[in-house]
Structure 1
Amino acid sequence: MTDDPFPSSPSAPTVAVFRPDDERTDRAAALLERLGADPLPDPMLEVDPTGAVPREDADFTVLTSKTGVELAAEAGWEPGGAVCAIGEATADALEAAGYAVDVLPETYSSTGLVDRLAGEVDGARVEVARSDHGAQVLLDGLEEAGAYVHETVLYRLTRPDGAGESAERAAAGEVDAALFTSSLTVEHFLAAAEERGVREAAVAGLEGAVVAAIGRPTAETAAAAGIDVDLVPGEADFETLARETVAALE
């Protein structure tokens, strides 16, 4: 008899995730498991606080990440004007820290925030508090709208020691999907692959995987490096990215 009366269930797809090396990696892995995937956590970002604090005399202050909000709150920052969040996750972090969110763009991106503020910031002082890898388009767009822009770097984003297991697994054809959440995760993935001597093989290995990028800038960075992007989610948040990617694997 050749038929197995108790056939084994297909194995869960392996999904590489590159969230920062903190509770976000744990939450991402837990979400992927609930969605029926086998998470491959490989943090490509590590937060290095600078100790700087956002200015308090601005007419508008822009926060672009949960990490930035937490660092500002820990420093006792008290905004003097309107508080702007680049997306829902940042807005949730602001509210959790006790700040009111005055501006939240319809499109969660630097361009979306510029479009939202364009008619309000002519002649205004705008403080942008973020990481050292923030998109230049935000500063340029606000300045073009007539704002006096000041940037405060709250933290630097570095690549953790030991990152790169996902690159080796991709090179071996063992990754079914990869979730890139910023241009920097793409760059750090490739740098880790280069260090391990598998860059070309890792990029080739991703050709057979579902490669997802959280937004167009991330997708453009990947494409410029020779990585074909299969999916950009309808909303630029991690849960939507994960859900749409796992659905694409079915």
Structure 2
Amino acid sequence: MSETVAFFRPDDERAAEAAEIVRSLGGEPLSDPMLTVEPAGETPRRDAELTVLTSKTGVELAADAGWEPGGEIVAIGSGTAEALERAGYSVDRIPEQYSSSGLVEELRADAPGARIEVARSDHGSPVLTDGLEAAGAYVHETVLYRLRRPPEAGVSAVAAAEGRLGGACFTSSLTVEHFLEAASDRGIRADAIEGLNDAVVGAIGEPTRETAENAGISVDIVPTVAEFEALAEAVLTRVGPEV
């Protein structure tokens, strides 16, 4: 099996970091950014008792805008927490499970009557906002940025269709959707899916797995830790190199 592993992180330090991780694990990285960030020009509210930030990008946009929180800050996971600390914010809460459902469980006891601000992209999961509202919170969502598919995206779809992929690391439902759109634009959707099904496919989180499998992509791995390094290691362990 080919040791080429595709990943779909934005074309910045995240893609460079992912390439370094894949190489360190014995694989050949194929970077195919499926997301580009379009700032919305908004900032999180300042009057919330709890503010939830779900990404490094959201943290950086809030910090650049000079946002000052009025209450506690909740980070979805360690990557977001590290970005908050680098920007000079304190991190008050991190859920045990790095996911929308994990955040709901973390905040459930404090939700009744609380004002909770959720600041994220335009493709955030309704699991978080609906879950917090069901738990009794007053939830306000601020869209900090929009995620778009770069027009040049799709080299991984070509590689999959040609049988040149050993593995693929999907980090969100949107990366799956954009991969399939890029394949469709090239008229190779069916072949690309077939190529993925001959490779080792990893997905971060159950929503990403469900999106892929609903499209006919077999997901082999969902790591227990929702971080790229854990995903890449699990995929490459199955692909074949020593890790």
Alignment correspondent of 1:72: 62
Alignment correspondent of 2:155: 165
The structure that has the greater radius of gyration is 1
Alignment correspondent of 1:179: 169
Q: From 139, 151, 159, give the equivalent of 2:129.
A: 139
Identify if the C-alpha distance between structure 1 residues 79 and 132 changes in structure 2 by more than 3 Å, giving closer, same or farther: same
Does the CA-based 8 Å contact 2:58-2:145 persist in structure 1?
A: yes
Residue aligned with 2:18, SS: helix
Does the CA-based 8 Å contact 2:43-2:65 persist in structure 1?
A: yes
Superposed displacement of residue 12, structure 1: 6.4
Aligned residues: 240
Q: Which runs of 5+ in 1 are unaligned?
A: 1-10
2:181 counterpart of 1:191: yes
CA distance in 1, matches of 2:124, 2:11: 19
Does the CA-based 8 Å contact 1:12-1:36 persist in structure 2?
A: no
- Name the TM-score, length of structure 2 as normaliser: 0.97
2:103 counterpart of 1:113: yes
Alignment correspondent of 1:239: 229
1:109-159 alpha-carbon deviations (Å, 9 max, x no partner): 100110010011210110000000000010000001111000000000000
Letter in 2 for 1:113: L
Percent identity over paired residues: 63
Letter in 2 for 1:248: R
Q: From 188, 195, 199, give the equivalent of 1:205.
A: 195
Letter in 2 for 1:184: L
Does the CA-based 8 Å contact 1:68-1:155 persist in structure 2?
A: yes
CA distance in 2, matches of 1:71, 1:202: 35
Alignment correspondent of 1:152: 142
Question: Equivalences for 1:10-159 in 2 at 5 Å?
Answer: 13-159=3-149
CA distance in 2, matches of 1:197, 1:22: 28
CA distance in 1, matches of 2:106, 2:4: 38
Superposed CA RMSD: 0.9
CA distance in 2, matches of 1:202, 1:172: 8
Q: Which runs of 5+ in 2 are unaligned?
A: none
